[in-house]
Structure 1
Amino acid sequence: MGYLLKDLFFNDESYNLAVQKFRQNKDLTFHSVSRSPLPDTLRRAFTGLKYYEPSRDYEISADFKAEERPEPVAMAMSTGDKEPYFVKGKASFELDGQTHTLTLYQKAGATSDSLFIPFTDQTNGFETYGGGRYLDAIPLGQTIILDFNKAYNPFCAYNPEYACPMPPAENRLKVKIPAGEKEYAKKD
C-alpha cells in the first residue's frame, strides 16, 4: 500500500512540475521581443501571468468522436471577420455530476494533429478573460485528454490588435472550470 501511495504522490508531483514548466515557458515567450503578444510598454513591465493552482481534477479523459467528414465552418473572430476552420469532432466528459460536450476544430491549412478548443465557462468575466479561453489537445483514438490546467487566454486578451477566434455557442460550458490561466491584469 505504501508503494501505491508513494507512486500516486510522485505522479501528482511530476504532473505539477510539468504544468509549472509549461507556464514558465509561456512567461518566457511573453518576455520575448519578437514573440510576445504584449505591446512593448506592457512587455517591459511584465512580471508573469496568473494561474489557478494545478489540479488533476481538471485533467479530464473525455470520449472523442471524430467527424467522418470534417465540415468547414466560418469561425467568428474578435475583429468581426471570419476564418475557415474544420469541425474535427466532439469530446464528451463528466464534471460536477453533469455531462458536457465540446466541439473541436482545426484551422484550415493546419498540419498538426493538435485540435483547437475555444470555450467559455462560468469563470469568464469574473476570474478569467471574459471572451473565453482556449485549449489544445490531441486525440488518442476514441479518447482525448482535456487538460484545463493548460487552458490559455487568446492573444486579444493582451492586445486588441490581434484577431482571435470567438468560442462558438456550443462550447459555452455551464460549469466553473477554475483551472489554467486567469484574467490578465495590465500594469501600465
Structure 2
Amino acid sequence: MKGIKYIIILGVLLIFGYLVKDLFFNDESYVQAVQRFRENKDLNFHSVTNSPLPDSIRRTFRGLNYYTPSRDYEITADFKAEERPEPVAMPMTTGTQEPYYVKGKATFELEGQEHTLTLYQKAGTTSDSLFIPFTDQTNGFETYGGGRYLDAIPNGSNIVLDFNRAYNPFCAYNPDFACPMPPAENRLKVKIPAGEKNYAK
C-alpha cells in the first residue's frame, strides 16, 4: 500500500510540476514575443523610409519607451459586432476628417469596473484587424497626451485587447502627420500602464 501511495503522490507532483513549467514558459514566450514586436518597431523607426521621425531626430534615435509587459493587460473582452456598419467622420489632429466604419464594441472588466471600447475600420481597407483609438488616465503624464492606439482581431464573440502592444500615433513624434483623435466613447476612466510611454527625444 505504501508503494502505491508514493506512486500516486509522485504522479500528482509531476503533474503539478508540468503545469507550473507550462505556465512559466507560456508567460516567458509571451514576454519574448512582445519584446520582439518592440525591437522590430525600433528598427522601423531607424529606417529612412518607414520612420515617422524627422531626419534630425532619427539619426540619434535610441529606442521607444515602454512599460514592462504584463499579462494583466492582455485582456479577453466580449465582442459585439455591428450588424450594419455605419460610416463615421473621424476627426484628425490636423482639423480634417476621414471616413471610418464602426465595426463593433468590446466590453471588458478592469479594476472592478466594466469598460467598453468602440472598434473601427478605415474606409477602403479590408484587413481583419480593427482599429481602437483610446485614451486612459495615464495620458498627459506617463503616456502621450493625445491618446494611443490598439489593433485587434475579433474571434467570434471574443476579442483579445493586448494593451502591451498599445502604441502612439505618428503625430506624437512629428506634428506633420494627420492622426485620428480618440472619440469620446473611447475615453477610459482607468489607468492602462501598459504599452508605449511618452516619447523622450
TM-score, length basis structure 2: 0.92
Distance 1:19 1:168 in 2: 27
Q: Which residue in 2 is equivalent to 1:109?
A: 124
Q: Does 1:139 align with 2:154?
A: yes
What letter matches 2:132 in structure 1?
I
| Equivalent in 111, 128, 133 of residue 118 of structure 1 | 133
C-alpha deviation, 1:111, in angstroms: 1.1
| Equivalent in 62, 66, 72 of residue 57 of structure 1 | 72
Q: Which residue in 1 is equivalent to 2:173?
A: 158
Q: How does 1:18-57 map to 2 (within 5 A)?
A: 18-57=33-72
C-alpha deviation, 1:73, in angstroms: 0.2
Q: Does 1:94 align with 2:120?
A: no
C-alpha deviation, 1:2, in angstroms: 1.0
Distance 1:66 1:20 in 2: 31
Structure 1 residue runs without a partner (length 5+): none
Distance 1:3 1:99 in 2: 35
Secondary structure at the counterpart of residue 63 of structure 1:
strand
What letter matches 1:138 in structure 2?
I
1:107-134 C-alpha deviation (Å, 9 max, x unpaired): 0001100000000000000000000000
- How many residues are treated as equivalent by the alignment? 186
Structure number having the greater strand percentage = 1
Distance 2:166 2:18 in 1: 32
Structure number having the greater helix percentage = 2
Task: Report the aligned-residue RMSD.
Answer: 0.3
Structure 2 residue runs without a partner (length 5+): 1-15
C-alpha deviation, 1:7, in angstroms: 0.5
